[in-house]
Amino acid sequence: MAYDYRKELKRVTDYYSGDPLQKRLSILLTGETNSGKTYMLRTARMPAHVDSFDPGGTKCIRDLIRSKDNPEGQVIADTRYENDDPFNPDKFAQWKKDTDMRLEIGYFNHFSTYMLDSATTWGDAVMGYGMAGKGRAGEVPMHRKDYNPQKVEMINYIKKLMRLPCDFILTGHLREIKKLLYVDSKTGVATEEIKYRFYTTGQAVVTIPLLFDELYVIRGKRMGKDGPERELLIDSLGEYIARSRLKAKGLLDSIEEPHIKKLLRKVGMDYSDKPKLELS
């Protein structure tokens, strides 16, 4: 049969129109310790599932978490991966098994948001997993011998999570990088340039952010009457790197309120929740 370009155009456009991945977000949310990264899950589309590798990291959202005392909670928090033993590291192996099983049974189809909290402690668990496999648990990692396999493992699983049918948020910490510019010969005062970058292994500082639609930085703005006020950088400003594909139409500012649903509403995307979780 002769090639018909109209059929090919229809096939491509129909696929795009029905592709669920075009209707969800992937966000790398970075910030300093206690900047409000996990807390921002409150503003996401519900229900939500969070896999926590940060010890005690979900306490700031405990009123939303489904439990015996809170059977109506719409956040499912798996905290089994916290507090990995460096001499017997098994949390990443358990997480891999659980994640593969959940993907296979369509578990995430019932959620609007998945959060992996955080890249720093998750990365430590990945390293521990690799070291244990070499019989060197608890030892100091060697440069290429240990860090390269860790980086590949992290990137491979992030790519797998990019196929989730729901929003995907990976939280991460920031590394402060100082560069000496010059020293005043008279006063001896040094002038430094300070930048903040995603804290991770080697070249993954570049390759991991490239996998995400949105790269946000959350930071404190001022102390308000109800506690610290925060702002969300969605475009590079000064010492921070941020970017947003949602900003392409000019509907978002470089600094926004740290509220995911409000961002979606401003750009005309669906910000509604999925049906509440029901347990038999």
Decide if 277 is inside a domain: no
Question: SS3 helix, strand, coil % of the chain, rounded to 5?
Answer: 35, 25, 40
Decide if 275 is inside a domain: no
Give me the pLDDT at residue 203, please.
Answer: 81
> What is the rounded CA–CA span in Å between residue 115 and residue 171?
8
Decide if 271 is inside a domain: no
Average pLDDT by consecutive 10-residue portion of the chain (280 residues)? Answer: 76 77 87 92 97 95 95 95 95 97 96 96 95 91 87 95 95 85 74 80 87 93 73 89 88 94 94 87
Question: Which among 50, 115, 121 is positioned nearest to 82, based on CA atoms?
Answer: 121
Decide if 138 is inside a domain: yes
End-to-end CA distance of the chain: 53
Give me the pLDDT at residue 226, please.
Answer: 67
CATH number, domain at 239?
3.40.50
Decide if 51 is inside a domain: yes
Q: Where are the alpha helices (DSSP H) in the chain?
A: 5-18, 91-105, 119-133, 143-161, 204-210, 260-266
> What is the rounded CA–CA span in Å between residue 112 and residue 166?
5
Decide if 161 is inside a domain: yes
Q: Which domain holds residue 122?
A: 25-266
Decide if 239 is inside a domain: yes
Question: Which among 82, 269, 48 is positioned nearest to 168, based on CA atoms?
Answer: 48
Domain count, the chain: 1
Give me the pLDDT at residue 189, please.
Answer: 74
Give me the pLDDT at residue 262, please.
Answer: 96
238 Ramachandran zone, left/alpha/beta (phi>0; psi -120 to 50)? left
Half-sphere exposure of 110 (CA within 13 A, CB side): 13
pTM, rounded to two decimals? 0.89
Name the token pair of 77. 């928090």
256 Ramachandran zone, left/alpha/beta (phi>0; psi -120 to 50)? beta
List phi, psi (to 5°) of 100: -60, -40
Q: Is the distance from CB of 66 to CB of 74 less than 8 angstroms?
A: yes
Give me the pLDDT at residue 68, please.
Answer: 92
> What is the rounded CA–CA span in Å between residue 168 and residue 57?
18
